[in-house]
Structure 1
Amino acid sequence: MKISARNTLSGKITAIEIGSVNNEVTIELAPGVVLTSVVTKASCERLNLKVGDSAYALIKASSVMIGVDD
């Protein structure tokens, strides 16, 4: 697989919260480091995603905002 996204993070699916249209997929990237993504229910089914499976989080953004406390 070749993709244009530079931020490709591998991990293990730890949870899938199923909704009527979208699902929330949580991937543990490292112990205690998790990322949650909202994807369509159809995409979850097409990719056959299951808890315990290995997966990649692909992040591509034209801008990233950073904030700090006052």
Structure 2
Amino acid sequence: MKISARNSLVGKILSIEEGSVNNEIVIELAAGVEITSVVTKKSCEQLGLVVGGNAYAIIKASNVMVAVD
């Protein structure tokens, strides 16, 4: 796979929570470090995503917001 995005993080799929249209995918990047993404059910099926499988979390954004109380 070649991609221009610089923030490509590989990990193991911990869970897939199926919704009526979208699925919530939780990927463990390192012990105790998780990232969650929402993708369409169709994309989930086409990518062959399964719990325990490996996947990349690819982050492409022009900015990242940070907030505190």
User: After alignment, is 10-19 or 59-68 more displaced?
Assistant: 59-68
Looking at structure 2, the residues matched to 38 and 32 of structure 1 have their Cα atoms a distance apart, in angstroms, of: 20
Looking at structure 1, the residues matched to 68 and 16 of structure 2 have their Cα atoms a distance apart, in angstroms, of: 31
Identity of aligned residues (%): 71
Q: Structure 1 unaligned runs (5+)?
A: none
Partner of 2:40: 40
Q: Structure 2 unaligned runs (5+)?
A: none
TM-score (norm 1): 0.94
RMSD: 0.7
User: After alignment, is 60-69 or 10-19 more displaced?
Assistant: 60-69
Partner of 1:2: 2
Residues 28-70 of structure 1: per-residue CA shift (max 9 Å, x gap):
000000001000000000001000001110000011111233x
